Amino acid sequence: MRLYNTLTRQTESFSPLRGNTVRMYACGLTVYARGHIGNFRTFVCLDVLRRTLKSVGGYDMQQVVNFTDVDDKTIAGARKAGLELRAYTDQYIAAFHEDTLALGIESVEEMPRATDEANLKAMVKTIQRLEQRGHTYQSNGSIYFKISTLSSYGKLARLDHEGMQDGARVDSDDYAKENARDFALWKASGPDEPSWDFGVGPGRPGWHIECSAMALRLLDGAPIDIHAGGVDLIFPHHENEIAQSEGSTGETFSRFWFHVEHLLLDKGIKMSKSIGNVLSVKEILSQGYRASALRYVLLSTHYRKQLRFTWDSLAQAEESLRRLMDCLGRLDTVTAASSSSAFAERVESACERFDTRMADDLNTPGALGVVFELVRDVNAAVDAGTVSVEDVLIIRKAFDKFDEVLGVIALRRVEDEQPPVEVEEIERLVEERNAARRGRDFSLSDQIRDDLDDRGVILEDTPTGTRWKRK
C-alpha cells in the first residue's frame, strides 16, 4: 500500500513497523457539542482507511480514537448548562456513537476519554519526563512546553522558525497558526474548574498533552504507525503532540501523518461550530435522506481534496445507490445454468483494479468508477441473458469485497429492512396486489402500487415475479 505522509509531503509505501498490526491513533471529537458532517467526513475517511488496511493490505488493527472531554470549551459548556463536566460530555459521546452507527463506521479497539484516571496519570508521567529533559517551565501554577528547546519544532506544519516568539506563552487550548508560542501542558485550574493532582500540582491537562499520552499508553510506545485527523489539526494540535511525544521519548512519534481535507458548504464556506453553520447527521436524516447516501457523499471525493457538500450531491448519491442496488437485485432474476469464463475474468479484473486504486492512497473516486463499470457490465449481461447462476455467485462475492472497504451496500440493506414501511407490511401488500391482478381487479392493483409509491416503496413486475425496493 501507498499513503500520503503529511510529514514528508510525499506518497510512500506503507507497512506496519511491528509484525502485521497497524497501530493507529486518530483525534476524535472535543465533546462540547454534537459532531457535524464536516467532522464525520474525517471519521468516514478514517473508517475507509481502516477497512482498506484490513481488506486490501491484509493487516490487523489496533486503533485508538479519543474523546477530548476536558478543555476550555467543554468546561465553558458544562458551566453554561449547569451540569457536571462528565454529565455534560456524556450526552455528546452518546450522540457520537449514534451517528457512527447510522453511518456504518466500524467500532475501533479503544475509545478513551481524556479524564479517565489512567490517562490523566499517563499525562503527568509524560510531563515529568519532559521536565527531566529540560523542555518545560512553570508560571503561575501552570506548566508550559518551551518550543525553543526542540530544534525540530514546526516540522509537520512547516513553520518559519524566525517568526516564532521565543518565551511568549499562549494559554488558550485553541489558537491560530501565527501563534507559534510556548503552550500549556498542565493548567492551573480556575474557580469551579475541574482539578486533579497526580504529581505535578493541582490542575488539569492542556489540550495537546491528552492525545500524546493516550497514544503512547494505548499503542505501546513510539513510534506508532499512523496518526490521523482533519487538516485543521496540523497546527497547533498535531505539531504540539509531536513536540511533547518526541521531547519526552527521544523517538519519532508517528511514522505517517494522515490528514483529511475540509468539507465546504455550497458557497465554499467551511463548516464550523464557532460560526454556527453546521449540519449534523441527525439533521440530514430528519430531512428524509438516508445515512447510506450521506456516507457515499463523504467518501466519493478523495480525502486530500476539499469536498463541496450540497443537497444535490445527496440526491445524486441516492441515484447512484439505486443503480447499484437495482443491479444486485436483478441478479435474483438470473436462471441460466451455463457459465461464461470470460465474464468471470471481467469480474476478477474489476476486483484487482479496485484493490489497486484503494492501495494507491485511498483513491475512492477511482474505486467507485470500477464498481459502476461492473454495474454496467452486469446489467448488459443480464439483459443479454449471458449471466449464469454460477456467475451470480462470483458477482455477489465481488460486490461484497468492494463493500468491505466502502461500507455502503450493507448499510443500504439494513436501511431497506427498516421502517417507514415495515418489510412484513410491504410483502403483505405485494401479495394482496398479486391476488388482485389474478382476479383482474386492476383498479385495486394500481391503488396498492400507487399507495406504496407514495410511501417510498417502488414495485417492479418481472418475469419471475414482483420485486420491491425503497426510493
Question: Tell me, what's the pLDDT at 11?
Answer: 98
In a domain, 276, yes or no: no
Q: Which helix (H) or strand (E) holds 399?
A: helix 389-406
- Asked if residue 442 and residue 408 are part of one domain, the reply reads no
* Res 229: pLDDT: 98
**Of the candidates 227, 260, 293, which is a domain's last residue?**
260
Domain match, 404 and 429 both: no
Mean local confidence (pLDDT), 422-448: 88
Residues 6+ apart with CB under 8 A from 320: 296, 372
Q: Residue 129: which CATH number?
A: 3.40.50.620
Q: CA 186, CA 193: separation in Å to the nearest integer? A: 13
Identify which of 202-206, 435-439, 442-446 has the greatest average pLDDT: 202-206
Q: What percent of the chain stands above pLDDT 70? A: 96
Give the C-alpha separation, 4 to 11, whole Å. Answer: 4
Are 174 and 158 within one domain?
yes
* Percentages (nearest 5) of helix, strand, coil residues in the chain: 50, 15, 35
Asked whether the beta carbons of 2 and 355 are under 8 A apart, the reply is no
C-alpha distances out from residue 400 to 61, 81, 343, 406, Å: 20, 46, 17, 10
Q: Cβ distance 207 to 115 under 8 Å?
A: no
Q: Are residues 290 and 439 in the same domain?
A: no
Identify the CATH number of the domain in which residue 334 sits. 1.10.730.10
Q: Residue 135's pLDDT band (boundaries 50, 70, 90)? A: very high
> What's the alpha-carbon Rg for the chain, to the nearest Å?
26
Is the domain of 125 the same as that of 179? Answer: yes
Q: Identify the residue with better confidence: 462 or 236.
A: 236
State pTM to two decimals. 0.88
Residue 90 inside a domain? The answer is: yes
User: What pLDDT does 168 receive?
Assistant: 82
- Domain-terminating residue out of 396, 416, 436: 416
Domain match, 353 and 392 both: yes
Query: Per the domain annotation, does 296 fall within a domain?
Result: yes
How much is the pLDDT for 177? 58
Higher pLDDT, residue 213 or 423:
213
Q: Which of 395, 416, 437 is where one domain is finished?
A: 416
3-state DSSP assignment of residue 227: strand
Q: Give the per-residue pLDDT at 178.
A: 60
* pLDDT tens figures, 182-209: 999 999 988 889 999 999 999 999 999 9
- Co-location of 24 and 162 in the same domain: yes
Domain-located, residue 271: no
Average pLDDT for residues 128-151, to the nearest whole number? 96
